[in-house]
Chains A and B, each alone.
Chain A
């Protein structure tokens, strides 16, 4: 089976812009979770989508949003970018049958740099 893929792998944006990141889960997986990884804050949960619905949400401002399509692919959008949004954004897929306890399989991440 192909693993989790994320595009693009690297992005450079300027403050105030918006960005869209994409994640394709492992075939058959219906849940996609997003995490932000920074040196200072570590790994923080953004949100989880299951069957095109947001099932869980972390403590991030409304500038961070996401969606999931019928083929389980997911996109994450960040509007009005701030310098502090610079991070590695990781996507993880799982079967979705047991939220929070399924084994999650991670993609390689998208490295976002905000100038």
Chain B
């Protein structure tokens, strides 16, 4: 069975600095997608970034980028120039055609300090 692990329950960063959130996963599948979702205190889950496993190039979305290491089954999220609005819980998720669903990690609560 596929699993997703986020080993950092809580992190904090100063505004304007860079922070990296870790995520590892376990799977025997070759074709899958990985996602980072953000859940601010208001509770609406928002997609941050998505990575297709067959693409070697790391996905980027403005200040958000990932470091996808397929062989190591690692999928970390880097947030550059952190802003107060980045304060949220971040979830790493795995999805594949075989699972038919998203499998989430336990989440990392990120606090951006002024």
Contact = CB atoms under 8 A, between A and B. Distances in A.
A in complex with B: yes
Interface of A: 33, 35, 42-43, 45, 48, 55-56, 58, 88, 90, 92, 98-109
B5 to A, nearest CB: 11
Contacts of A90: 45
Contacts of B101: 33, 45, 48, 56, 58, 99-100
A104 B100 contact: no
Chain B at the A interface: SS class: loop
A99 B43 CA distance: 24
Contacts of A35: 102
Chain A at the B interface: SS class: strand
Contacts of A104: 47, 102
Interface string B55-98: 00000000000000000000000000000000000010001111
B98 A103 contact: no
A56 B101 CA distance: 8
A58 B1 CA distance: 13
Contacts, number: 60
Given A100-B98, A101-B95, A45 B103 contact: yes
Nearest to A88: B43
Contacts of A92: 45, 102
Given A42-B104, A43-B91, A108-B44, A103 B50 contact: yes
Nearest to A46: B101
A59 B6 CA distance: 22
A100 B100 contact: yes
Contacts of A42: 104-107
A39 to B, nearest CB: 10
Q: Which residue of A45, A48, A55 has the most chain B CB atoms within 10 A of its CB atom?
A: A45
A105 B57 CA distance: 24
User: Nearest 9 A-B pairs (CB), nearest first?
Assistant: A56-B100, A106-B45, A43-B104, A45-B101, A99-B100, A100-B100, A100-B95, A101-B33, A42-B106
A92 B101 CA distance: 11
B14 interface: no
B102 A108 contact: no
Interface string B31-45: 011010100001111
